[in-house]
Amino acid sequence: MRLRITFAKTGALRYTGHLDLHKIWERTLRRAGLPLAYSQGFHPQPKIQIAAALPLGFLGREEIVDIWLETNDSPPPPPDSLQSAAPPGLTILRVEPVPERAPALQTQIAAAEYQVTLLEAGGGSDLERRVADLLAKETLPRERRGKSYDLRPLIQTLACRGASLDMILSAGEGATGRPEEVLDELGIPPETTRIERTRLILKPAIE
C-alpha cells in the first residue's frame, strides 16, 4: 500500500536536513508500528519518497511524503496514530492512499509557494518599489554553482505584504526557483529572514 502524508515541519526540525528527515520518517513509522516496505538488495532501504527537499532552515507548512507499506488491505492509519509517534516539530496533516503505480512524487511538483518573514525592522522601507522593479525586468540572469540561468521566468508571483514577502516559484526538474536567489536580487540577506514553504503545487493529474 502506498500512502501520501501531508505534514508540517517546524520548530527545531527546521534545522534538520533532507537526508536526516528520511531517517526521522523511518523511525516515526516504526514507532507507529506500521509495516514499512523495504527495497530489495544487499542494503534494504525503507521505501520513503519525500516530494521535494526543503532547504536547511526553511519551515514547511504543507510538505508531502509517500511511503510504502507491506500490507494492502487494511485502511490507512488515522493521522492521530502517526502524530503520537512523531517527534516535536513534525505535524501530520493528512494521510491518504494513492495508486501504487502513480508517478514518483518528485516528478509531480510544478511549483512551490513561500512566505518570507523579514526579521529586521526597517529593512523593507522601499521594498515595494524594489519588488515592482524586479517584476518589471524581462530577464534576471544569475549564476548558481557555475551554471547561468534566468531567474525571472521561474518567478510566478511575488508580492510584498508588510514585513513579509509572498512568492510562488516554479519547481520543475532542472529549473527550480529558489527564494534565497530572489531575496538576493532584492538585496535582502537570507540570514535576516525566516523562510516558510507554505505549499507544494502538484502538476494536474493526467488520467
Partner 1 sequence: MLSPAEIEARLERVLLTVQKPGRYVGGELHSVVKDWESTAVRMVFVFPDIYDIGVSNLGLQILYDRVNARPDALAERAYLPWIDMEERMRANGIPLYSLESKHALADFDLIGFSLPYETLYTNVLNALDLAGLPLRSAERNDSHPLVIAGGHACFNPEPMSAFIDAFVIGEGEEVIHEIMDTVGKFAGRTVSKFTGLQAHMSERANAPTFKRVNALKELAKIPGVYVPRFYDVTYFDDGTIRAVTPNIPEAPQVILKRMVAQLPPPPTRFLVPNIDIVHNRLAIEIMRGCTRGCRFCHAGMITRPVRERSVDEIVAAAEAALQATGIEELALLSLSSSDYTSILDLVTAISEKFAGRHLTVSLPSLRIDTVSLDLMERLKDRRAGGFTLAPEAASERMRRIINKFIPDEQILTTARAIYARGWTTLKLYFMIGHPSETLEDVQAIADLCKRVLAEGRRALGGRAKLHAGVSTFIPKPHTPFQWAAMDTEAQIRLKQDLLKRQLRDRNLKLSWTEPPETLLEAWLSRGDRRLGEVILAAWQNGAKFDAWGDQLRFEAWTSAFAACGLDPAFYTHRPRRPDEIFPWDHIASGVRKKYLLEDYRRSLEGQTRLDCRENCYACGILPTFADERRAHPGPYWKCPEVKSPTKARSGVQ
Among 98, 96, 58, smallest CA distance to 77 is for: 96
User: Considering CB under 8 A, how many residues would be counted as binding partner 1?
Assistant: 34
Binding flag, residue 18, partner 1 (CB under 8 A): no
Judged by CB under 8 A, the chain residues 175 through 194 that form the site for partner 1 are 190-192, 194
Q: CB-wise, 84 or 106, nearer to partner 1?
A: 84
Burial class (CB in 10 A: 0-12, 13-18, 19+), 103: exposed
Among the residue ranges 38-46, 71-79, 152-160, 199-207, the one whose residues contact partner 1 (CB under 8 A): 38-46
> Which residues, in sequence order, are CB contacts of 207 under 8 Å at separation 6+?
none
Residue given cell 516515526 in the structure block: 28
3-class state of residue 104 by DSSP? coil
Q: CB-wise, 95 or 131, nearer to partner 1?
A: 95
Q: CB-wise, 17 or 78, nearer to partner 1?
A: 17
Terminal C-alpha separation, the chain: 20
Q: CB-wise, 19 or 206, nearer to partner 1?
A: 19
**CA–CA separation, 137 and 139 (whole Å):** 6
Binding flag, residue 78, partner 1 (CB under 8 A): no
Strand partners, 149: 142
Q: CB-wise, 42 or 138, nearer to partner 1?
A: 42
Question: Residue numbers of the site for partner 1 (CB under 8 A)?
Answer: 11-17, 19-20, 23-24, 26-31, 33, 36, 38, 42, 44, 46, 56-57, 85, 87-89, 119, 190-192, 194
